[in-house]
A and B are shown apart, each in its own frame.
Chain A
Amino acid sequence: MLKLTCFPTFSHFAVDSHIIMSKRKARDAHLPVGECIKQVQQILRERFCERRLPDRLEGVEAQYKHLLELLRRTAIHGESNSVLIVGPRGAGKTTLLQCVLRDLQKEEKVQKNLLQVHLNGLLQTDDRIALKEITRQLHLENVVGDKVFGSFAENLAFLLEALKKGNRSSSCPVLFVLDEFDLFAHHKNQTLLYNLFDVSQSAQAPIAVVGVTCRLDVLELLEKRVKSRFSHRQIHLLSSLNFTQYLERVWTQLSLPDSFPDKKFAQEWNAGVKTLCEDKSVEEVLQRHFNSSKDFRSLHMLLMLCLSRVSVAKPTIKPADLLEASRMCFADTTANMLHGLSILELCLVIAMKHLNDVYEGEPFNLQMVHNEFKKFLHRKSNSMYNFEQPVVMKAFEHLQQLELIRPVDGSSAKVQREYQLMRLTLDHSQIMEALQKYPQCPTDIKQWAMSAFG
């Protein structure tokens, strides 16, 4: 794919670097292109998979300062706090928290003092599991060989006792991080949340509870007694960036750091990225992505697709790569699936579309669809598609398996298969578009689909 055309640049580049290397007598190391590409892939992949924290956060300085100050007060002065970080998915909530924690850890006093407990609503699906996890992460005395003894009630009592005994000055502050906070609110009686917030309100051991969630209405999920104990401090991460900032972000995400071993390569790469960002067609594509979503994760996905097209033979990102990646991101998945249907299945879909048009979205069954199809065949007096009912039923069931049609009610066992009521999950435009793209679609079928009301 595209590789041979780019080969000359590669050889030129290799020779170039070789000459310079001999000139400067290898003052700073020049690596072969393969090695450079490997490094680039390594660095950028870690960045896009969010395995490495950025050195500096952009656009959320105020929130960063707020959170850092809050957690420092807990860690150093022993204040109990609770805070919620709220923002849509992919807005950088976890990154913000991780950055704050990293910078907090740099202070020596904090490093010795602060205990951290990380919980995730996806993993700790009920309070019992969460409690076990807390005891484990705090390395409490009754934990022997990773086995927790005692019942839930005992465990909770023990933990609360341990927390209550402490006071502001003497005991170690504990930081609770609750990822997917809204899922914790679905636990029975919200016992865990109640107890955590209760400890944070009363003068017991200093704890900070940091909830991370993507639900804006998370406070409505809390019970009254829990809600009243929460400090109502919220940090919103609502993306307020405009398109120029977005472009800048693309640039910073793609560019190599100064610490890159081969300086020359890094410079050329960064220059290449700069010209890429200034390209008109690239800008258009990015504008389209920006319009559909501002979150960084979808941007990372796009850039990851671009990066995967970088190889030794083609050591830069070209606008064409970005265009191709964007095309992959925006591909209509349902249309892709419709493309692979057989003619018979497509005919059934068209018949369903006509039924939908005539009866205004009323559900249908196989008999009606087949009847509609037979009417078409009768009109055309074309015996090519004259299939028997069982063959049609097999096609119908395949459509159901692909979830292109959905049964109206779940009680499938009681009704015969041909009389089960179904609904089409495709809309008009999707069918027409699929029909245009369908390879070697017979003309009469196309016409039948175009004609209003069958």
Chain B
Amino acid sequence: MTALLQHPGYDEERLKGVAEKLPCREVQAGMLLSLMGQPHQYSYPSIFIYGHRASGKSHVMHVLMKELELSHATVSCVECVSIALLFEQVLLSFFGCDAASLLPRSPSLSDFVRVYRQQCSQSPAKQTRYIVMEKAELLRDTDASLLSALLRLQELVEDNVTVILLSEIAWDKFRPNTGCFEPLLLHFPDYSKSELQQILSQNVHPSYSAGFYSAYINILLGVFYSVCRDLRELRHLAALNFSKFCEPLAEGKVKETDTHKLWKHIEPHLKKAMQTVYLREVSSLQWEQMQQMEEEEAGALRGLSAHTHVELPYYSKFLLIAAYLASYNPARTDKRFFLKHHGKIRKTNFLKKNEKTSNHLLGPKPFPLDRLLAIFYSVVDSRVAPTASIFSQISSLVTLQLLAQVSHDDQLDAPKYKCAVSLDFICAIARTVNFDIVKYLYDFL
């Protein structure tokens, strides 16, 4: 706290307000403030702040800028699909809308710097201006010179301006290959378990005591901490499951202090939440409804991924089965599986188990169309003519993304495909046509 309160040039009352709003981030905010210096002094041209998701990067910047009333432009690089939007936003928040309208239709960096300089000479900076760019990793995908230019913007526009980049990715992955002006690197460390506990315990439910709520947070962290350290996600989960935690209390079965019983009640529930809500299988709304329905077990509702059953025409099913077999079986075993009189194939030769990894580990292999059709004719019982409808079914399987075309689209003769469905899915399909697919899979012999 004290570190924050001693920055000359800023209003002390406001600094106090800042400190209150930034729990567990006083050190970082203090360091940032001392780097920024007093409002009228020059700050370093560019500062790069990195840290994990939800480690308070944007929040700290936002609170500092808002509370201390510094002149700033906050730009999210996700929103700026073209650099014109970025320039517009910066000019808008520094000089008002007149400046933004001075930009030509599709502005280049040169136009931006020209307009900026022009405006700047009319209203010179009394304080440092800050440009905060969130999700800065997207800047790499835009114009190659944009990032380099932003890093040395202070020199280019000759104004007291500092660019602050926020990102989840380390700076090493940003550096252009001809080099650039190196920014000051600042790391926002992740919250430790006790810090998470402290922050999450802040939003206490008004009708319960603080100790009770923090016991709940403790249990929640015990289940989720090894998987998820994202503060936002944890906060969301805490809010969702709290009503379930209070249930035995409302029924009058246990007292607030009886943590063990409360833990026994909530723990399986939280474990179930990890498989459903955490993966967004079940939406938060559905989860809340499920909690209210007493008789129905949580998770009994089918989630998103349970809806894998797809209704397909008869031949399409067999085509898909054939594609799966072609993808996951080596071609040399086709004779053994699909020919009635396959002659002599020695068993030892056939079961070459020196292949260490199974195909279900390596993923599907590409196969030519001929092989697909050959397997298809041998697995389907009746005689099927190779009509246009069969071929159109293959291409419609590709558009459904059940098959993937590996070769180029324009190749008409001997195109290659890959099967893109999972084992569970194909087993379900095979069951509907009474086909025992496991018997034909090389991996499961």
Chain B residues within 8 Å of A297, by CB: 181-182
Q: Which residues of chain B have C-beta atoms less than 8 A from A42's C-beta?
A: 41-42
Q: Is the CB of A390 within 8 A of B279?
A: yes
Known interface pairs A123-B110, A342-B226. Does A38 touch B8 (Cβ–Cβ under 8 Å)? yes
Tell me the nearest residue of chain B to A406, going by C-beta: B173
Question: Is B305 an interface position by the 8 A CB rule?
Answer: yes
| Contact assessment for A391 and B179 in the assembled complex, using a CB-CB cutoff below 8 Å | no
Residues A342 and B227 in contact in the complex (CB < 8 Å), given A133-B110, A333-B171: yes
The answer to whether the Cβ of A419 comes within 8 Å of any Cβ in the partner chain is yes
Q: Which of A46, A182, A308, A415 contacts B178 (CB 8 A)?
A: A182
**Which residues of chain A come closer than 8 Å to B362, judged between CB atoms?**
365, 367-368, 419
Residue A292 at the chain B interface, CB threshold 8 Å: no
Closest approach, in angstroms, between the C-beta of B320 and any C-beta of chain A? 14
* Interface status of A443 (Cβ within 8 A of chain B): no
Q: How far is the CB of B307 from chain A (nearest CB, A)?
A: 15
- The distance in angstroms between the C-alpha atoms of A343 and B9, with both chains bound, is 43
Q: A250 contacts the other chain (Cβ, under 8 Å)?
A: no
State which residues 32-79 of B face A: CB under 8 Å: 34-35, 37-38, 41-45, 50-52, 55
Q: Determine the chain A residues whose CB is within 8 A of the CB of B156 once the complex forms.
A: 120, 122-123
Contact of A1 among B30, B180, B227 (CB under 8 A): B30
CB pair B44 A49 closer than 8 Å: yes
| Residues of chain A lying within 8 A (CB to CB) of residue B149 | 122-123
In contact, B109 and A388 (Cβ under 8 angstroms):
no
- Interface SS majority for chain B: loop
Find chain A residues with CB under 8 A from B185 CB. Answer: 328-329, 331, 333
Q: How far does the alpha carbon of A42 sit from the alpha carbon of B128 in the complex, in Å?
A: 12
Q: Beta-carbon contacts of A434-454 to B below 8 Å, as 1s and 0s?
A: 000001000000000000000
Residue of A nearest to B279 (CB): A390
**Closest residue of B by beta carbon distance from A388:** B275
Partner of A49 from B42, B168, B278, B305 at Cβ < 8 Å: B42
A171 within 8 A of B: no
Bound Cα distance A147, B110 (Å): 14
A342 to B233, CA, bound (A): 13
Q: Tell me if A361 is interfacial: C-beta within 8 Å of chain B.
A: no
Cβ of B189 under 8 Å from chain A: yes
A312: B residues at CB distance < 8 A = 6, 8
| B170 located at the interface, meaning its Cβ lies under 8 Å from any Cβ of chain A in the complex | yes
CB distance from B43 to the nearest CB of A (A): 7
Does A45 contact B110, Cβ atoms closer than 8 Å? no
Given A49-B42, A367-B361: A415 touches B420 (CB 8 Å cut-off): yes
Q: Are A304 and B275 in contact (CB under 8 A)?
A: no
A336 touches B173 (CB 8 A): no
Beta-carbon contacts of A254-271 to B below 8 Å, as 1s and 0s? Answer: 000000000000000000
Q: Within the complex, what minimum Cβ distance (angstroms) separates B48 from chain A?
A: 9
B175, chain A: closest CB distance, angstroms: 11
Contact A342 B184 (CB under 8 A): no
Give the size category of A's interface with B: 35 or more
Q: Is A344 touching B279 in the complex (CB atoms < 8 A)?
A: no
Chain A residues with CB under 8 A of B108: 123, 125, 129
Residues on the A chain within 8 Å of B180, using CB: 89
B170 x A308 contact (CB < 8 A): no
Q: How far is the CA of A451 from the CA of B72 in the complex (A)?
A: 52
User: Which B-chain residue is minimally distant from A147 (CB atoms)?
Assistant: B104
Please encode chain A, from 54 to 91, with 1 for each CB lying within 8 Å of some chain B CB and 0 for all others. 00000000000000000000000000000000000100
Contacts of B240 in A (CB 8 A): none
In contact, A214 and B179 (Cβ under 8 angstroms) = yes
Complex alpha-carbon distance, A24 and B195, angstroms? 55
- Check if A247 is an interface residue, CB within 8 A of chain B: no
Complex partner residue of B6 from A41, A124, A311, A339, CB under 8 angstroms = A311
Docked complex Cα distance between A214 and B2 (Å):
45
> A371 to chain B: which residues have CB within 8 Å?
361
Contact with A51, one of B7, B42, B178, B225 (Cβ below 8 angstroms): B42
Given contact pairs A51-B42, A336-B170, A439 touches B192 in the complex (Cβ within 8 A): yes
Say yes or no: B227 contacts A391, CB within 8 Å: yes
Taking the complex as formed, is B363 at the interface, i.e. its CB lies under 8 A from any CB of chain A? yes
Binary interface encoding of chain B residues 414-432 relative to chain A, with 1 for a CB under 8 A from any of its CBs, else 0: 0000101010000000000
Let me know if B145 is at the binding interface, CB within 8 A: yes
B97 on interface, CB distance cutoff 8 Å: no
The closest CB in chain B to the CB of A51 belongs to: B42
> What B residues does A120 contact at CB under 8 A?
156
B169 nearest in chain A by CB position: A403
Q: Is the interface of A mostly helix, strand, loop or mixed?
A: helix
Instruction: Choose the segment among A161-169, A280-288, A394-402 that binds chain B (4+ C-beta atoms closer than 8 Å).
Output: A394-402
Q: Is the CB of B3 within 8 A of A1?
A: yes
From 111 to 166 in chain A, residues with beta carbon under 8 angstroms from any chain B beta carbon are 120-125, 129, 132-133, 136
Cross-chain contact B34 with A311 (CB below 8 angstroms): yes
Q: Contact between A129 and B110 (Cβ–Cβ < 8 Å)? A: yes
Query: How far apart sit A387 and B223, CA to CA, in the bound complex (Å)?
Result: 12
Interface assignment of B360: CB less than 8 Å from any CB of chain A? yes
Q: A37 to nearest B CB, angstroms?
A: 8
Per the bound structure, the CA–CA distance linking A49 and B172 in Å amounts to 22
Determine which of A34, A124, A385, A391 lies in contact with B8 in the assembled complex, contact meaning CB atoms within 8 Å: A34
Contact (Cβ within 8 A) B170 A334: yes
Confirm or deny: A313 has a beta carbon within 8 angstroms of a beta carbon on chain B: yes
| A416 contacts B by Cβ under 8 Å | yes
Give CA–CA (A311, B10) in the complex, Å.
13
| Complex CA distance for A342 and B223, rounded to whole angstroms | 12
Interface string of B222-243 (1 = CB under 8 A from A): 0001111100000000000000
Hey, which chain B residues are within 8 Å of A8, CB to CB? none
The complex places the Cα of A418 from the Cα of B363 at a distance, in Å, of 8
Smallest CB separation, B304 vs chain A (Å):
10
Distance in angstroms from B271 CB to nearest chain A CB is 10
Contact B187 A336 (CB under 8 A): yes
B residues near A, CB below 8 A?
A: 2-3, 6-9, 27, 30-31, 34-35, 37-38, 41-45, 50-52, 55, 108-110, 113-114, 143, 145, 148-149, 152, 154-156, 168-173, 178-182, 184-185, 187, 189-190, 192, 225-229, 274-275, 278-279, 281, 305, 357, 360-364, 404-406, 418, 420, 422
A94-B155, A122-B148, A419-B363 are known contacts; what are 13 more A-B pairs with Cβ within 8 Å?
A: A41-B37, A49-B45, A50-B155, A123-B109, A125-B108, A125-B109, A308-B37, A333-B185, A340-B189, A367-B362, A368-B361, A388-B275, A401-B168
A-B contact pairs, 9 of them (CB 8 A): A48-B44, A49-B43, A308-B34, A337-B170, A340-B190, A367-B360, A367-B363, A384-B226, A387-B227
Give A contacts to B, CB under 8 Å: 1, 3-4, 34, 37-38, 41-42, 45-46, 48-51, 89, 94, 120-125, 129, 132-133, 136, 182-183, 214-215, 297-298, 301, 304-305, 308-309, 311-313, 328-329, 331, 333-334, 336-337, 339-344, 365, 367-368, 371, 384-385, 387-388, 390-391, 394-395, 401-403, 414-416, 418-419, 439
Q: Which 3 A-B pairs have the closest CB atoms?
A: A419-B363, A340-B190, A333-B170
